[in-house]
Amino acid sequence: MKTILLVDDEAGIAESLKMVLGQDYRLLWAATGEEALKRFYRNPPHLILLDILLPGSDGLTLLKQFREIEPSLPIIMLTGTRMVKTAVEAMKMGATDYVNKPFNIDELRLTIDNAIASYNLGREVLYLRSEVSQKYRPDNLVGKSRIMREVFLKIEQVANAKTTVLITGESGTGKEMVARALHYNSVRRDRPFVAINCASIPESLIESELFGYEKGAFTDAAGRKLGQFEAANGGTLFLDEIAELSPATQAKLLRVLQSKEFTRIGGTRIVQVDVRLIAATNKNLEEALRRKTFREDLYYRINVFSIHLPPLRERMEDVPLLLNDFLDKKSKENNLKTKSLNKEAQAYLMRYDWPGNIRELENVIEQAVTLSTHQVIGVNDLPMQLRTRRKTNTFKEEALGGRLSLVDAVKSFEREIIESALKEADYIQTKTARLLGITRRILKYKMDMLGITTNSNPETSSSAKSSSDRLKMG
């Protein structure tokens, strides 16, 4: 039950409020400012009802003292009709609201309920922001490779600056993750972080998305729409795939970055904004400059400080850390006990070249965790396309490097050869055995030993069924 502290020298009001609010709130009463402070420290309330006129003290002075102790606590002033000007002054000093005496009980209850709900929402927002800030701390980002340690250092160096940052790297390398880390480790962390993928918005709509429009600016403009620059005011605007912007939009973006002001489409009033821009691209902007598809002046404006994210194949020592992180995360999301990978499955993942980078790795683990019926995920739980397209690292290199035992290397080699042969032979066992120079019985034995089933066929379900029939018939 929420606690309300009533500070009022009239005992009758205290008794009335106890009767009216007693079912929903615990009411504490103090007749003087001194008594109110003692009760406040002894039982911190969720809301204060504070009379402006108190014997021996001033309600405004007490308001100031409460605000110094707890800046966000809801405080509702109780005042007579002749003291409205004083109540307005109290609002300027930080009071949440005021109610005139004699007050309407329904009005007072509604004011109390709304004030507490708003206070709880504010506390929840602060908690969530704190949680997000912790999540995007540089030391919470996954990676131990030298190149990623350099990225983390750059984040720490530039996070708290106003500097525009350009993040480059292939799709799926975590550019938005770095942008959020920059925002949530800056002084702007309590302000909005707004992300836009420039490639996903049609050219005809990108300008209105960025800068907004006024009512009547075009046929469908039924009312005013604020753009993302205004939405991000005081915070950070992340423009992903900035190279996809048209030359006209690039020119308007450059003007905003230079002047920190713009006008909405169809409007005349100048809108001023304080926004930190973080841009990202998977394109070679220097090549775009040579082809004149990207403005040189905009390039130098956004490329004040750059962070390059390497593809996953260039930092394979980070893969085991990422695997453990995603296994834990995806297991929890599915309300499962944290699953693990056996050595052979992990070896397969270490030999894959990850063209889709971290995003692809996360999707593979999510699929394996969701679909596997085993606590320990094996090779057969991995997607077939991943097993048939791997890095050129040989099993010999893996075994000699101590990353794969001889037994697992032999099993992996046999699995790869048999799966490739099955595919080549259209999943007909007799034809597959002939291709490999062994009997069908030995092929079936090895398939059973390695766990290769008809489900290994990567075709659609209907094709898989027909292939299964051919396996049985072959």
Q: Looking at the domain that runs over 2-130, which CATH code has it been given?
A: 3.40.50.2300
Whole-angstrom Cα distance, residue 272 to residue 472? 72
- Phi, psi angles (nearest 5°) of residue 2: -70, 145
Least-confidence region, from 38-47, 136-145, 190-199: 136-145
431, pLDDT greater than 50? yes
Whole-angstrom Cα distance, residue 166 to residue 304? 7
For 318-335, the pLDDT digits (tens) are: 999 999 999 999 999 989
**Average confidence (pLDDT) over 228-233:** 93
For 252-285, the pLDDT digits (tens) are: 999 999 999 999 888 888 999 999 999 999 999 9
Residue extent(s) of CATH 3.40.50.2300 domains in the chain: 2-130
Specify the 3-state DSSP secondary structure of 280. strand
Question: Residue 32 half-sphere exposure, CB side, CA atoms within 13 Å?
Answer: 6
The pLDDT value recorded for residue 472 is 37
Share of the chain above pLDDT 70, in %: 87
Residue extent(s) of CATH 3.40.50.300 domains in the chain: 138-310
CA distances from 80 to 33, 84, 85 (A): 19, 7, 10
List residues bridging with 47 in a β-sheet. 4
Measuring CA to CA, which residue among 357, 165, 191 is closest to residue 156? 165
* CATH superfamily, domain at 138-310: P-loop containing nucleotide triphosphate hydrolases (3.40.50.300)
CB 145 within 8 A of CB 315: yes
Residue extent(s) of CATH 1.10.8.60 domains in the chain: 316-473
For 61-89, the pLDDT digits (tens) are: 889 889 888 888 899 988 875 666 777 78
Residue 201 per-residue DSSP state: S
Contacts of residue 86, defined as CB under 8 A and 6 or more positions apart, other chains included, come to: 52, 60, 79
Question: Residue 23 half-sphere exposure, CB side, CA atoms within 13 Å?
Answer: 2
CB 39 within 8 A of CB 28: yes
Whole-angstrom Cα distance, residue 167 to residue 280? 5
For 4-32, the pLDDT digits (tens) are: 999 998 888 888 888 888 888 999 999 98
Cβ count near 386 (within 10 Å): 19
List residues bridging with 168 in a β-sheet. 281, 308
Specify the 3-state DSSP secondary structure of 24. coil
CB-count burial class (<10 Å; 0-12, 13-18, 19+) for 294: buried
Mention the CATH class of domain 316-473: mainly alpha
Q: What is the pTM of this model?
A: 0.61
